[in-house]
Amino acid sequence: MGHARRATPYGEPPGTEERYRQGEVIRERYHLVRPLGQGGFGRVWVALDSLLDTHVAVKIIYLEPDAAPAHSERLLAEARASARFRHPAIVRVFDFGQTERGDPFVAMEMLHGQSLYELMVAEGRIAGPRLVQLLLPIADALQTAHSAGIVHRDVKPENVFVATDDLGRVQPKLLDFGIARQTDVDRRLTAKGAIVGTPDYMSPEQARGAEVDARTDVWSFSVLLYEALTAQVPFKADNYHALLNSIINDAPVPTHQQSAGDLELWRLIDRGLKKSPDDRWESMRAFGEALALWGYERGTREDACGASLRTSWLEADFAELQVVINSTQPPPVQLTTKRPDPRDPDSAVTRAVAPPPPPRSRWPWLAAGAVVAALVGAGVVAASRPSPELPDVQAVGQSPPPADVPAASTTPAAQATPSPLPSAEPSRASPKLPQVAPAARPLASPLASTAPPPRPPSAPPAPKAKPKSTAPDFGF
C-alpha cells in the first residue's frame, strides 16, 4: 500500500508551526494542554473545559489573514449543524465559535482508540465481514446527516475513528462533518502539483467542480471499502491532475480479482463507484442494507457495537425491499384482516386465520316441513277412504308405491310384519317436495290421522297414530 502519511484521531501528527501555545485559554473556558494532531486546516488540541471540568478536543481552523468572513461563517454554520446530531456514531460537538484571533474553533468529545487508517496500517487488509461490522455504524451516521441536508464531503479512513470506552466496548465514530471540505485539497498540494496528502476519495463530480449531493458520500464510502479490503486505493496517479483524470475516466480493478472479498461484495462496491451519481446507490441507507444482507448471509449477526443487523437494517424496510433472510427460525405469523379463502387449504392466510363457520343449510328444515305437511294431508285422505281399500294399500306397500303412500301402517298386521315403507319414505318424498301442495290437496296416509279410520268387523280397533313416531326418520 505504501502508506506515506501518518494519521492521528484528529489529523496529521503535530508539526512545528504554532499559532497557539500550551496554556493559552480559548474564550475564557478551554485551557490548551497539548497538541493532538494537525492538518492543512489547522490544529487539534487536548483542552481542559473549565466549565465542565473534563478534557475535550478543540479543533482550531487556521484561516489566512485575507480570508473572507463568509468562509468563517460557513464553517461555523456547518459546525452548528453537526452539533444538532445525536447519533452514537457521530462525534459529539459541545461548543463552537471564534477564538480571540478570529479563527473558528470546535470543541468536541475526547475519544480513545485509533483511526481506521491506523488500523489498516497495523493489520493490512481487513476481512470483508469484519469491515462491514465496523462501517455499518458509519453508514447509518451518514444517512442521518444526509436526512438533515448535510453532506460530509470528506469520508476517508482518517475521519473514521474506532473508539473504545473503559469497558472495552467499540463504537466507530465519524469525524469532521464538512469543517474542511474546501481547504484540505488545496493545502495538500505543492507548487509542482505533487500530491502530499491525497484526494483519492473525491467523486467524479467533485473532480469536475460540479455541485455535489449525498451520492458524493456514497462514492467516498465505496472508495473507503475498496481501500480497506485491498490495502490500496482504486485510482492512482503521479500528480493531482492525472489522478482527477483517472477518477473521471478509469475503471478500478475488481476487488475479488485481488483476492479481497467475493464477487457479490464487489458488485455492491462497484455500484457505489459508478461515474454517474444516478447509477449509484440512491442513499446510504440502501447501501447499508445491501452490505448488512451480504454480511448476514455469511454468518454476521451484529455490527461492531453489538447491534443486531436484522433489527437495525434488515427489518426496517422489510416490506419494501422484500428481503428473504436465511434463518433457522420459522418466520412469525403475520396477522391479517383479510378474509381467507376456505377453498385453498394450503394458503398461509388460511393457516393463520381460521375460516368462518359455513352457513347452515335450510334444506333439512324445508324437507322436514314438507314431510309433516304430507303426513297431515295423507291422514285426511286416509280417513275418507273406505275400509275395503286398506288391503290394497298394504299390498301396494310391497311394490313401488306412489309418492303419497304413507311411511308405515298402524294396523296390527303392519306392526307384526315390518314394512319397508318407513325406510323408503324419505327417498320418495324428497324428489316430490316441489310438488307438495297445501292442505287443499292432501296426500293419503293413515299415520297422521287424528281419528281412527273405519276398520273391518274382524279387525281390532287401531290406536291413534302419533306424528312423533316418525321423528327419528327426519331428524326431529
* Choice among 62-71, 416-425, 449-458 with the minimum mean pLDDT: 416-425
CATH class of 25-109: alpha beta
Query: Rounded to an integer, what distance in angstroms lies between the CA atom of residue 211 and that of residue 341?
Result: 55
For residue 445, the tally of other CB atoms under 10 A from its CB is 28
Banded model confidence at residue 81, pLDDT cuts 50, 70, 90: confident
- Domain residue extents for the chain: 25-109, 113-317, 328-357, 359-392+439-450
Residues 309-346 as b or e (16 or more Cβ within 10 Å = b): bbebbbeeeeeeeebeeeeeeeeeeeeeeeebeeeeee
Chain segment 320-338, per-residue pLDDT in tens: 545 444 445 555 554 444 4
Q: Which residues are catalytic?
A: 154
Banded model confidence at residue 62, pLDDT cuts 50, 70, 90: confident
Higher pLDDT, 313 or 9: 313
Banded model confidence at residue 459, pLDDT cuts 50, 70, 90: low
C-alpha closest to that of 194 among 412, 422, 4, 433: 4
Residue by residue, DSSP assigns 152-170 as ----SGGGEEEEE-TT--E
Q: For the chain, report the end-to-end CA distance as a whole number of angstroms.
A: 94
Chain segment 159-172, per-residue pLDDT in tens: 999 999 989 999 99
* Choice among 178-187, 223-232, 318-327 with the minimum mean pLDDT: 178-187
Chain segment 375-426, per-residue pLDDT in tens: 766 665 565 555 554 444 444 444 455 544 444 444 444 444 444 444 444 4
DSSP-based three-state secondary structure for 195: strand
Query: Rounded to an integer, what distance in angstroms lies between the CA atom of residue 158 and that of residue 118?
Result: 8
Residues 166-200 as b or e (16 or more Cβ within 10 Å = b): eeeebbbbbbbbbbbbebbbeebbeeeeebebbbb
pLDDT at 155 over 90: yes
Res 396: pLDDT: 43
Pairing outcome for strands 160-164 and 170-174: antiparallel
DSSP-based three-state secondary structure for 47: strand
Say whether 113-317 and 25-109 share the same fold. no
> What global pTM score does this model have?
0.62
CATH of domain 113-317: 1.10.510.10
Report CA Rg, the chain: 46
